[in-house]
Amino acid sequence: MLNGNKCHILLLPCPAQGHINPILQFGKRLASHNLLTTLVNTRFLSNSTKSEPGPVNIECISDGFDSGGMNAAPSRRAYFDRLESVGSETLFGLIESLRSRGRPAHVLVYDPFLPWAMNVAERSGLRSVAFFTQPCAVDTIYRHVWEGRIKVPVTEPVRLPGLPPLEPSDLPSFVTDSDPVINPDLLPLLVNQHKNLDKADMVLINSIYELEHEEFDWMESRLPLPVKSIGPTVPSTYLDNRIPSDSHYGFNLYTPDTTPYLDWLDSKAPNSVIYVSFGSLSSLSPDQTNEIASGLIATNKSFIWVVRTSELAKLPANFTQENASRGLVVTWCDQLDVLAHVATGCFVTHCGWNSTMEGIALGVPMVGVPQWSDQPMNAKYVEDVWKVGVRAKTYGKDFVRGEEFKRCVEEVMDGERSGKIRENAARWCKLAKDSVSEGGSSDKCIKEFIHQCCNDSK
C-alpha cells in the first residue's frame, strides 16, 4: 500500500470546535511519530478561521454550504444530509487529487458522526478508522440503543452491561429527552455512529482506558475490531505543567479575547480563581445567566467567565463594570492556558467531553452544570465515578439557582469534601499524563494504531 511513501493519514472531523480540537491534537501526535497527517476541513470553516495547524496539513472539502456553513442550513438534519451527499463526492475527489499530486493517502480517520466517510474510504482503497469524540460510557449507551437493548425515551433507572447504575437524569439528553425538535434531528446522528462500524479497521476513543476500563472492555467485547483509547488529546507541554507560548489549538472557531487574562491570573493566589465556561455551543437562557452571575458574586471569589459574543446581551446590566476588580468576562480564551494556571482552583463547566478531559488532565476540580447531549453523563462520572467534582442540582428540569451554584463552588474549593476532591483530581491528572507517556495505555494504543494501519498489506 505505501509503495515507499510515508504513511499519510487523513483526519475528517465533524465540523464543530469540540470535534476538530481532539482530532487535530491526535494528528499532531501522529506527526510527532514521523507520519504525514492532513486535517480535512470544510471550505466554509477554513475560510472563516485563522488556522495555525503546525505539523498537520490542511485540505478542504465542500459541505454544500461554502458561504455559510451549518448556520446557513435550514435544519441540522438538512445540514448533515447535504454534507453526506456533497461531502462524499468532494472527499473522494480530494483523495484522487492527493494521489495525482504524489501525496497518496493511506488511512482515513473519520468522525462517526459522518458514517458515510467509511464508504468513501472503502471506495478509495483506504483503511478506515472511526474516531469517537465522546467518552466510551456515552458511546456504550448509543451502542445499547443501536442494538435495541434500551428503548428511547428512557424514563426509568437502567442497569446495563459495562455501565454503573444510571438514573434517567444521568443519561445523554437525547436518550431521555422527548423534545420533538431536537430528537428527530440529533438522536439518529448519535445512534448511527454504530451503523457501519463493524466494517472499520479500528475504533479510537478520545478517552483514557483507566478512566473507563469496564466500558472499554464491554465495547471491545461487542465489536469485531480493536477498540483503542488515545486520550487525553491535550498537548504534552500542558501535561508537563508548562504553558506554551504559542497557540496549541491551531483551529479556533472563535477569536480569543484580547484582554490580558493570563497576566491577570498571574496576580492571583494559587487555587483562588473560579473559571466558568459553557463551551462553544451552549446557549443559556437570560434567567440562567442571571442566576450564575448572582451565584458568582455571592462566592466573593475571583473569576474568569467565558461569555461568547452572541451571549453577552444576556448578562445583567452593569455586571462587568460592577465586578471589574474581582471578575473578568472574556468572549473566548485559550482554555488550556487558563486551566493550567496555578491560580485556577475550580472549573465550572457544562461538561462537554473536551472540557471534562481537559479538567481531568490538568487536575482542576470541577462543578458540572450540564446542559444537553452527553454532558449529564459526563457530569455523573465527574461526581460519582472519578469523584473530581460535584454536579449542580437542578430546580425543575435543568435550571440551576444562584445559591446552588455558590454551594457547589464552595464545596469544591473550601468545603468538607474539597481535600478529597483535590486529591482525586491530582491522582487522575498523573494518570492522564502517564497514559500518553512512553509505555502508558494511550501511548501503546497509538503505537498499535500506527503498526496496524500504516503497514504495507492493504
Please check whether residue 319 is in contact with residue 329, taking contact to mean a CB–CB distance below 8 angstroms.
yes
Strands (E), 260-368: 273-277, 302-306, 327-330, 344-349, 366-368
Chain residues 203-222 in contact with ligand UDP, contact rule CB under 6 A: none
CA pair distance 147, 18, nearest whole angstrom: 27
Identify which of residues 170 and 257 has a Cβ nearer to ligand UDP in the complex.
257
CB closer to ligand UDP, 126 vs 211: 211
Task: Report residue 421 as a C-alpha cell.
Answer: 476532591
**DSSP states of 65-84:** -TTTGGGGSSSHHHHHHHHH
* Residue 277 in contact with ligand UDP, rule: CB under 6 A: yes
- Minimum CB distance to ligand UDP, residue 358 (Å): 5
Q: Is 435 in the site for ligand UDP (CB under 6 A)?
A: no
Per-residue interface string for the shown chain with ligand UDP, residues 325-344, x marking contact by CB under 6 A: -------xxxx---------
How many helical (H) and strand (E) elements, i.e. helices and strands, does the chain have? Answer: 18, 15
> Minimum distance from CB of 2 to ligand UDP (Å)?
33
Tell me the sheet residues that pair with 330: 306
Comparing CB distances to ligand UDP, the nearer of 345 and 368 is: 368
Task: Match 475527489 to its residue by C-alpha cell.
Answer: 93
Smallest separation (angstroms) from ligand UDP to the CB of 127: 27
Interaction of residue 7 with ligand UDP, rule CB under 6 A: no
Candidate list 8, 10, 11, 21; residue touching ligand UDP; CB under 6 A: 21
Q: Which three cell numbers stand for residue 105?
A: 493517502
What is the helix (H) or strand (E) element at residue 430, kind and residue range?
helix 418-436
CA distance 146 to 115: 14
- Minimum separation from the CB atom of position 348 to ligand UDP (A): 12
Copy the grid coordinates of residue 6.
Answer: 510515508
Smaller CB separation from ligand UDP, 103 or 308: 308
Residue 204 pairs in a beta bridge with 131, 228
- Residue 352 near ligand UDP by CB under 6 A: yes
Which triple of cell numbers denotes residue 422?
Answer: 483535590
Q: Which of residues 10 and 253 has its CB atom nearest to ligand UDP in the complex? A: 253
Sites for ligand UDP among residues 77-106 (CB under 6 A) = none
Asked whether 149 and 166 are in contact (CB, 8 A), the reply is no
Active site residues: 19
328 DSSP β-pair partners:
304
| Least distance in angstroms from the C-beta of 176 to ligand UDP | 18
Among 86, 281, 298, 450, binds ligand UDP (CB under 6 A): 281
The stretch among 27-35, 150-158, 262-270, 273-281 that binds ligand UDP (CB under 6 A) is: 273-281
Residue 355 found at the interface with ligand UDP (CB under 6 A): yes
Closest CB to ligand UDP among residues 210, 311 = 311
What is residue 274's three-state secondary structure? strand
Q: How far apart are CA 407 and CA 248, in angstroms?
A: 34
Which of 279, 295, 365, 389 forms a contact with ligand UDP (CB under 6 A)?
279
Q: Which is nearer to ligand UDP, 42 or 280 (CB)?
A: 280
Question: Considering the rule CB under 6 A, would residue 17 count as an interface residue with ligand UDP?
Answer: yes
Burial of 383 (0-12, 13-18, 19+ CB in 10 A): buried
Spatial neighbors of 299 by CB under 8 A, at least 6 apart, are: 274, 406, 409, 410
According to CB under 6 A, which one of 128, 193, 280, 424 is a site residue for ligand UDP?
280
Query: Where along the sequence are the contacts to ligand UDP (CB under 6 A)?
Result: 17-18, 21, 249, 277, 279-282, 306, 332-335, 352-355, 358
